Structure 1
Amino acid sequence: MMLEKYISDLLYRYQCVTVPGFGAFITENVSAQINGSAATFLPPRKVITFNANIKNNDGLLANHVASNENVSFEVALNKIQVEVTNWIAELNQRNTITLKNIGAIATIGDEKTWVFEPSNTTNFLVSSFGLNQLVSPEIKREVIVFEPKLTEVVIENEPISIAPIPEIKRDYSYLKYAASFALFVTVGLFSYKFYNDDQVAKQTLLVQKNVQNKVHEQIQQATFFIETPNVAVELPITEEKLPYHLIAGAFRSDENADKAVNLLVAQGYKSEKLPINKYGLIPVTYGSFKSLEEAQVEKQKIRQETNTDAWLLIE
């Protein structure tokens, strides 16, 4: 079974993919960059990191394997465990395991520490599909040294020095074209990103409007069939949905989940419990957010200051 293929498929859609009993592959969004004197233009992309401390089974990878290989969840979990056992055995023998399109993991030091080297051949950011890195040739500048030439003219046996004759200046007009090309490529990359973000926002707004129209249509149909509307019915006001949840942990005990919420609230977080998931666990959040950008900023802050294992749940 090519387990790395299933991991690679999930990295396009999720920020974190956990391999039960082995570790988690985590992605971070990185903006477009320009590197080096040769002007290497890198499009927006996802950077992959590996955390060997996150080993709990969240069911994501096992469900994906079961769906693609048409087997049960338990059989898929056993197949993953066999592959993980082989990987660990290779690493214990100080061999390097290479996961196609993801990266390589090697063992170093007497303590057999695992080191992950990501592969840069695949961009897992869907919005940057088709954008490859572009290298503009390095602009070489030449230094021209002018050597004055003196011409001596003898008049009536008296030498006279003539002013230096400069050499003809070379034409370097092609440099401005190279600079214009580099500027054009940079502007094109950023323009595409802004255009793509605008299109996504417009599509999201259109979907929200369609949902609202459906709700109003259903309310009108329900009102039409009420023969004696003697009692005024108050429709509940739906609160603004916050689909991005920054997870502090998940608990099987409701009591432990309440303790975690109280502790986080005391620390100043807008913590709350989420509904029990299909694995019987109660997720506890640091807070919920309206946009992915806000959630990413808060996640980065919490990872640096409090909890390196905090992760993002997207509804």
Structure 2
Amino acid sequence: MTLANYISDLLYRYECVIVPNFGGFVTNEISAKVNHFTHTFYAPSKQLSFNAHLQNNDGLLVNYVASAENISYANALEVIEGEVALWKSTIANEEFEIENIGSFHLSAEGKYIFEPMNTVNYLTSSFGMNSYVSPAVKRIEYKEKVAQLDTVTPIIPLKENKRKTPAFIKYAATAAIIFALGSVGWNQYQTNEYNNLVADAELQQQKVDKTIQEATFIIENPLPTITLNVTKETFNYHVIAGAFREPANAEKKVKELVKKGFNAKILGVNKWNLTQVSYGSFNAKNDAINALNTIKKSESKDAWLLVKEY
């Protein structure tokens, strides 16, 4: 199984899958939609995007590869690094496609341009819900037929002797009325069908939202839960050391940096549900920038500055 397959598997269960030293694939759920020009209904799905800044290893992909291939963590990391190196080499020369995920090419500025594939829906609650086309309701055509029939229906005045109306006239009039009522009934039927279709789509969306709210994901052999006592920071400028999916990994990183003399701490969870760790926090912007430049030279070139407004 290739690295693309492992990434694809994880995208069904997680909102963000980070490939170390390459970038992160992020999913955002979008609701069901209708194309009013083609009359096509689309099921709810996950919209896939790529963030080149998410390169720090959070352990999710490496642990999954190690478990699936029955190899050590270090060997799994080597396998991923080797395939990532091949990806970068290919993208530098031509467009590169990752199966069931999307394609990459370089922009004029040398940045990755990602185009996701729309053939795979990573929203598990939408399995079996394919797009379909509902034909437009045609009402004008039936109205014209009724009008035409009304104009050709003969009208014969009654004579003073009150003779009985010929049978064929009664039949023609009855047929016209039945046809008109049938047209109205058909129009009403089409309207009801359309309303039912919209109502079903809204109901399905409500079920999807409820499923997402109640969904939980279980990882085999999870690390012990650690209670973090994080003091609320009042400083606005933070030099970031990394972001981790597992709180235990974030705590481990903090201890490692503290031993090196940094005033490291956990900042909390970002919008991708990753626990952020900082080398230190500063009140003045210039102090933060100076510290960042020093850390990039001596500690890690992946460090970056986070500004929070409190």
Superposed pair shares fold, TM > 0.5: yes
Structure 1 equivalent of residue 117 of structure 2: 119
Matched AA of 2:43: P
Q: Which amino acid aligns with 1:90?
A: T
2:194 equivalent to 1:182: yes
In 1, Cα distance between equivalents of 2:185 and 2:201: 26
Alpha carbons of structure 1 residues 99 and 196: separation in structure 2 relative to 1, 3 Å: same
Classify 1:198/1:309 alpha carbon distance in 2 versus 1 (closer, same or farther; 3 Å). same
Q: Give the structure 2 partner of residue 285 of structure 1.
A: 268
Cα distance between partner residues in 2 of 1:78 and 1:189? 46
Match of 1:60 in 2: 60
Q: Please state if 1:79 is matched with 2:62.
A: no
Specify the alignment match of 1:2 in structure 2.
Answer: 2
Partner of 1:107: 106
1:261 to 233, 256, 263: 233
Cα displacement (A) at 1:177: 4.2
Deviation at 1:82, TM superposition (A): 0.9
Per the normalisation by structure 2, the TM-score is 0.56
One-letter amino acid of the counterpart of residue 194, structure 1: Q
Q: Deviations over 1:109-154 (max 9, x none)?
A: 2x2332111111121112222222222235578797x9xxxxxxxx
CA distance in 1, matches of 2:196, 2:23: 42
User: Map of 1:188-203 to 2, 5 A cutoff?
Assistant: 188-195=200-207, 197=209
Amino acid in structure 1 at the alignment position of 2:130: N
Cα 1:78–1:100 change in 2 (3 A) is same
Percent of matched pairs sharing the same residue: 35
Structure 2 unaligned spans of 5+: 148-175, 217-226, 238-245, 255-265, 274-303
Aligned 8 A contact 1:54 1:309 in 2 = no
Structure of higher RCO (CA pairs closer than 8 Å, 6+ residues apart): 2
TM-superposed CA distance for 1:34, in Å, is 1.5
By how many angstroms is 1:50 displaced? Answer: 0.4
Residue 71 of structure 1: SS of its match in structure 2?
Answer: coil
Q: CA deviation at 1:107?
A: 2.1
Residue 249 of structure 2 aligns to a residue whose secondary structure is coil
Structure 1: 5+ residue stretches without partners:
147-167, 205-242, 244-253, 266-273, 296-306, 311-315
Amino acid at match of 2:234: N
Give the aligned partner of residue 247 of structure 1.
Answer: none
Aligned partner of 1:51 in structure 2 is 51
Residues 203 and 10 (structure 1), Cα distance of their counterparts in 2 relative to 1, 3 Å cut: closer
**Structure 1 residue 90: Cα displacement:** 0.9
Q: Distance in 2 between matches of 1:66 and 1:280?
A: 21
Q: Which amino acid aligns with 1:85?
A: A
TM-score under structure 1 length normalisation = 0.56
Distance 1:264 1:32, change over 3 A: farther
Find the residue that maps to 1:280 and give its secondary structure: helix
Q: Distance in 1 between matches of 2:61 and 2:129?
A: 28
Pairwise CA distance, 1:89 = 0.7
SS in structure 1 of the partner of residue 252 of structure 2: coil
Alpha-carbon distance between aligned partners in 2 of 1:309 and 1:40, rounded to the nearest angstrom: 43
Total equivalences in the alignment: 214
Q: Partners in 1 of 2:250 and 2:214 — Cα distance?
A: 33
Q: Residue 262 of structure 1: CA displacement?
A: 2.8
